Amino acid sequence: MPRGNDNFTKVYYKGKFDDFVIFVDDVPAVHRWRKDRSVPLQQILNGWKIFVTHRHGAQGVLDNASKAMLDNEFGTHREEDCIQQILERGEVQETTNWERQADKNPLNGPVSSGKG
């Protein structure tokens, strides 16, 4: 996963039974693959994992998709086939992972608002 303030690209697939997400290198890579299937998936994917959001949309908590979930949705649990279907039918989304805004050092006490 990217660190704070990094851009990342994912493909979101809203299925009949669940929502799935895979991470890709960038938007042009997905469009290149959609036009030319001879491009290896390894050059497009950013990690070889399929995530499920449990029907919580593209921003839901990501868990690893089980073989049973893949079988129910795609008719196979072969990851390469499922990834191809997600790339074909999914929505490409580019997002920024914002840096966390929590206190840097809670031992210093609460952060003052400057009013007082």
Q: Is residue 35 one of the residues assigned to a domain? A: yes
Q: Which residue, chain included where needed, has tokens 């990342």?
A: 8
Alpha-carbon separation of residue 28 from 6, 15, 23, 82 (angstroms): 18, 24, 13, 20
pLDDT, averaged in runs of 10, over the chain (116 residues)? 66 94 91 91 90 84 93 95 96 73 60 56
Q: Report the pLDDT value the prediction gives residue 49, as an integer from 0 to 100.
A: 94
What pTM was computed for the model?
0.76
For residue 22, which phi and psi values (nearest 5 degrees)?
A: -130, 150
- The total of structural domains in the chain comes to 1
Residue whose entry in the numeric block shows the structure tokens 């206190």: 103
> From CA 34, how far away is CA 56, in angstroms rounded?
26
Distance CA 73, CA 18 (A): 7
pLDDT of residue 1: 47
Specify whether the CB–CB gap between 97 and 5 falls below 8 A.
Answer: yes
- Expressed as residue numbers, the domain containing 38 is 9-94
Q: What pLDDT sits at residue 20?
A: 96
Cα 32 from chain centroid? 19
Task: Return the pLDDT at 97.
Answer: 61
Q: What is the CATH number of the domain that holds 73?
A: 3.30.1250.10
